[in-house]
Structure 1
Amino acid sequence: MDAALLCYSFTVGKSGSGLWWHKVQGQLNEETFLSYDSNNNCHVIGVLGNKLNATKICEKHSDTLKDGVDLLRDEARLCCWHEVDGHFNEFWDFGLNGHKMLHVDTSTGEWTEVDPGSSWMKEMWEKNRDVTAFLKMTSQGDCRAWLQEVKSHWEEMLESTGLQQGLVLWDKGKKEEDSRGSRMESPGVMEEGTE
């Protein structure tokens, strides 16, 4: 199997009434399989979601996702993957109003300002030890474990449907484009109570 890219998009904001809301979506190779919202509702969705044990996967993800939205209070995206040679990679991207501002390579600890006006955000996050510890722990620990679990279900699904042959699961050109500062993908969050 080619490299599998696991990402979690965090969006946190305030409603018109001043209440905080959040939405997190988990994706494997850009296919959404998990949704977690302000009411602490966790759902598995899509083709991959149908292969996962909803209770088990949500129990494993919920605490970490809740910690993430409590700490981050912005737009953020965690991604991790194994290269074909087995090397593990991970990163966090931070955004504001749908634009990527910062890229963090947690394996090296390097913070890159993607947007020229993002130095304030970089300084704020770099100085926050709780945030930097969370970023490293989730990208190198949680994301790695989640990737293994979700990827195994994805591979089973592909084998059972015969789709694995000739399927390109991840375009490295897309990854490189994303790391250069393209617009962040918004998970389509609606304010609480507007569904």
Structure 2
Amino acid sequence: MTKTVTKKADSLCYSFTVGKSGSGPWWHKVQGQLNEDTFISCDSNNCHAVGRLGNRLDATKTWETQIDTLKDGVDLFKDQGIQMKLENNAMREPFTLQATICCRSEGGEHVKESCDIDLNGRKMLHLDLNTKKWTEVNPGSSWMETMLKENKFLTEFLYKTSQGDCRSWLEEFKSYWEEKLESIALPTAAPDVDQPSSMVRKPNISVLLIILMNFLLFLLQYL
């Protein structure tokens, strides 16, 4: 008998973060998550697999292609961040720009893609990549929406990655997620019909003593 695992909708998300503080250089980091389990992490030096799931996916033919795409995305978001800083020099530091691209399989062939944009830790915009509709999460973020829409290279990357790469990667990667669930499903021991020796009922010693004393008294009456 095995532990039952409730299957949820599968999701694949990539979070791109670029930032700068003072006179220091621009930095970046990227994280990839399958069903909220981090499997890849990139910094300004390299990308590496994370955990058991990451080590499994590292062996797939998609792994290196994925890294190349993530590097392209970092360059585009970094250029966007530089442009924002140039046009608004009064923007507070440390400055961070984050974009999280997700594709979620909601059963069957329907996949929902989206992108959330944060600025300095505050959610600013939500982009429904299926309908290409922008939503202002934070009032007064229309300037940012206009700037992103004008960046044709970045918007093309968002549409292409979410509706092309992300979909195909999710389809390939989720089989490894299912294998992981199977490996962590713990067997539940069946009830043992034969009780262990420690559980065998033992005679009550006090009852035996009483019976023995009564027997001795009975014998004494006839001696």
Which TM-score tier does this pair reach, normalised by the shorter chain? 0.7 to 0.9
- Confirm or deny that 1:10 pairs with 2:16: yes
- Confirm or deny that 1:130 pairs with 2:175: no
- Alpha-carbon spacing, 1:103–1:35, altered in 2? closer, same or farther (3 Å): same
Match of 1:140 in 2: 163
Match of 1:63 in 2: 68
Q: TM-score normalized by structure 2?
A: 0.68
**Aligned counterparts, 1:102-141, within 5 A:** 102-141=125-164
| % same residue | 63
In 1: Cα distance, 2:162 partner to 2:60 partner: 22
Counterpart residue type for residue 20 of structure 2: K
- Confirm or deny that 1:89 pairs with 2:95: no
Partner of 1:134, secondary structure, is helix
Counterpart residue type for residue 42 of structure 1: C
In 2: Cα distance, 1:69 partner to 1:59 partner: 15
Counterpart residue type for residue 131 of structure 2: T
Q: Once the 2 structures are TM-superposed, how far is the Cα of residue 134 of structure 1 from its aligned partner?
A: 0.7
Q: Once the 2 structures are TM-superposed, how far is the Cα of residue 2 of structure 1 from its aligned partner?
A: 2.6
Match of 2:122 in 1: 99
Per-residue CA deviation, residues 146-168 of structure 1 (Å, 9 max, x unaligned), is 111221111112123327xxxxx
In 1: Cα distance, 2:142 partner to 2:53 partner: 38
In 1: Cα distance, 2:57 partner to 2:129 partner: 28
Gaps of 5+ in 2: 1-6, 79-96, 187-223
**Aligned-pair RMSD on alpha carbons?**
1.7
Per-residue CA deviation, residues 142-191 of structure 1 (Å, 9 max, x unaligned), is 1111111221111112123327xxxxxxxxxxxxxxxxxxxxxxxxxxxx
Of structures 1 and 2, the one with the larger relative CO (CA 8 A, separation 6+) is 1
Q: Once the 2 structures are TM-superposed, how far is the Cα of residue 54 of structure 1 from its aligned partner?
A: 5.1
Q: Once the 2 structures are TM-superposed, how far is the Cα of residue 7 of structure 1 from its aligned partner?
A: 0.8
Gaps of 5+ in 1: 164-195
Contact 1:51–1:157 at 8 Å: present in 2 too?
no
Contact 1:43–1:58 at 8 Å: present in 2 too?
no
Counterpart residue type for residue 8 of structure 1: Y
